[in-house]
Structure 1
Amino acid sequence: MSLETFSAEEHQKLVDAEQRYGNAFINAYNTTVLLSNLMMWPLVDCDLFIRFYSQMKKYHSLCVASTVRLHRVQAKMDLRYFLESTANAAFSLAHTDTQNYFDLQNNRIGDAQRATLKAYKWLEITYPGHSNFMKELKAEINEQTAHAHVVNSQHNFDLVAGQRAEIVTSYFDFEDDELVKLDLWVGAKAGLHAIDLILSVQKDFGGFLPSSDVSDFPQLMADNDAVLRELRDERGHQ
């Protein structure tokens, strides 16, 4: 076992991702780039929003990278954190006061779970379409990959029977291009929903000046739909 070797292999998997996963990776990559460049400049004091936005950017990029590096559970945990950061970013952009996150009276940080629950409830009422998408995706992640589960061992554990039996416990997930492409599509779709949500909140409540890069958003949505069609066609031909 060598962490240096693993790190080098991870880098090579990322370098090779476009060639290996094609449009699924290109769409996910372009989505995370746009997500990272949504804001040109704040127009009001929106420190809380920018803090959560920084978490959105980081964990969506980590989700994409972890997916092609063949760390599925890590990618899904990153995606879950990204969804929570998105909910709080949207809420704090519309509510610039700090009461949901800081207990000013007692000079301490507020309860994170309670703050996130309040953000989710606000989203449910104010932006129900985005709320439903995030709720369903988060539930799926919670059920499948957010917690230690024997089922997840299928990605990196195997018992090879025979005269010389072998127990395999791989650092990387076993290669499954179809699953990786599907996860890239899901990650991209989550990123596009988040972009749409943040831009909708910005339009309704202000807060920052969007960058000119947002003009690429409609094309990325169309590309994401095209990736799904490709995946369905590939499965249909198997």
Structure 2
Amino acid sequence: MEFKQSTFGDIIESEREMFLTASDRYGDFFINASEFNVLLNEFIKSVDPDRFIFAMFLSQIRKHATLALLSAVRLHHVQTSMNLRQVLEAGSCAAYAIANIGKEDFADFDENGFLDPSQKLTNKRYKWLEENFPAGSTAILNMKKTINNSSAHANIVYAHNNFRFDEKTGKFSTPFFDIEDEYWVKTDLWSIANIIMGLVDLFYGVNKDRNVIKFIDDFVPRLKALEKENHQLKAIMMGTDRFKKIQEASGQ
């Protein structure tokens, strides 16, 4: 499907159309990611006032998860990845903030009195997560590593997504939208859903013995139903010839 992109008006109109037609174009992959996004915005009844830092990071998670979903169906793969990295980083902070309420664990003050979210404190939070919730920690770090090693920085691989060359005319074009690849868009949508799934499950685990967050009554059955669908979608992608070729090429 071709989308107009010659002017700002074209881009705005096309991006609206891309989102409104996403369920037709990407089917259950879009539906599962969208429903996980809804769950992310509905899974909490209340948060104890002294856990306001958790709520601050939850706001970041919700914002960037929604931006990732929008970016994926509007054919902006790198933007999707960058937003997911924000989701993962905010997610680790949010999990830590459920159990640790000290503001000093999130930022230092520099010599001028400005807040400094130092790497030392970031490492402290990651270490706590690794020691107390190793499965969740590993999942976050592995996904961050995948993003950092692929789409977090400019490279020739992703430059191909925004470049066309016409051999007949000898001219090239630089489209605003990625050249549409249904397989990779579905992969992005699956990843968005899977990351949200992992984070809300992690929050549920951290909160379990603390009870500082009140989850909605049907949180667990909704999560389990969406999780089952997400695993089914993963199996579909892993059964494609394209996935098998990628595995063969990487020696797996």
In the superposition, the TM-score normalised over structure 2's length comes to 0.88
Secondary structure of residue in 2 paired with 1:159: strand
1:193 — aligned with what? 198
Q: Distance in 2 between matches of 1:114 and 1:11?
A: 42
2:215 to 176, 197, 210: 210
Contact 1:24 1:181 in 2 (8 A): yes
User: Per the alignment, do residues 237 and 115 of structure 1 end up closer, same or farther by CA in structure 2, a change over 3 Å counting?
Assistant: closer
Q: Unaligned stretches of 5+ in structure 2?
A: 1-5, 245-252
Q: Unaligned stretches of 5+ in structure 1?
A: none
Secondary structure of residue in 2 paired with 1:40: strand
User: Per the alignment, do residues 73 and 223 of structure 1 end up closer, same or farther by CA in structure 2, a change over 3 Å counting?
Assistant: same
1:24 — aligned with what? 29
- Give the 5 Å matches for 1:137-148: 137-148=143-154
- Give the 5 Å matches for 1:100-119: 100-103=105-108, 108-119=114-125
User: Per the alignment, do residues 213 and 108 of structure 1 end up closer, same or farther by CA in structure 2, a change over 3 Å counting?
Assistant: farther
Deviation track 1:176-208 (CA, whole Å, cap 9, x = no partner) reads 111111111111111100110111111133221
2:91 — aligned with what? 86
Shift of 1:33: 1.0
1:74 — aligned with what? 79
Shift of 1:150: 2.1
Deviation track 1:95-148 (CA, whole Å, cap 9, x = no partner) reads 012111244797542324333222211111111111111111111100110111
User: Per the alignment, do residues 150 and 233 of structure 1 end up closer, same or farther by CA in structure 2, a change over 3 Å counting?
Assistant: closer
What letter matches 2:17 in structure 1?
A: Q
Matched-pair identity in %: 31
Q: Distance in 2 between matches of 1:206 and 1:99?
A: 23
Contact 2:162 2:178 in 1 (8 A): yes
Secondary structure of residue in 1 paired with 2:154: coil
Shift of 1:82: 0.5
| Mean Cα deviation higher: 70-79 or 122-131 | 122-131
User: Per the alignment, do residues 87 and 236 of structure 1 end up closer, same or farther by CA in structure 2, a change over 3 Å counting?
Assistant: closer
2:140 — aligned with what? 134
Secondary structure of residue in 2 paired with 1:205: coil
2:45 — aligned with what? 40
Secondary structure of residue in 2 paired with 1:45: helix
Q: Distance in 1 between matches of 2:110 and 2:239?
A: 58
1:95 aligns with 2:100: yes
Contact 1:37 1:213 in 2 (8 A): no
1:120 to 106, 115, 126: 126
Q: Distance in 2 between matches of 1:114 and 1:10?
A: 40
Secondary structure of residue in 2 paired with 1:41: strand
User: Per the alignment, do residues 236 and 200 of structure 1 end up closer, same or farther by CA in structure 2, a change over 3 Å counting?
Assistant: same
1:49 — aligned with what? 54
Q: Distance in 2 between matches of 1:105 and 1:20?
A: 50
Contact 1:101 1:109 in 2 (8 A): no
**Greater RCO, CA 8 A, separation 6+:** 1
Shift of 1:156: 1.1
Kindly tell me the number of residue pairs found equivalent between the two proteins: 237
Q: Distance in 2 between matches of 1:179 and 1:105?
A: 43
What letter matches 1:235 in structure 2?
A: D
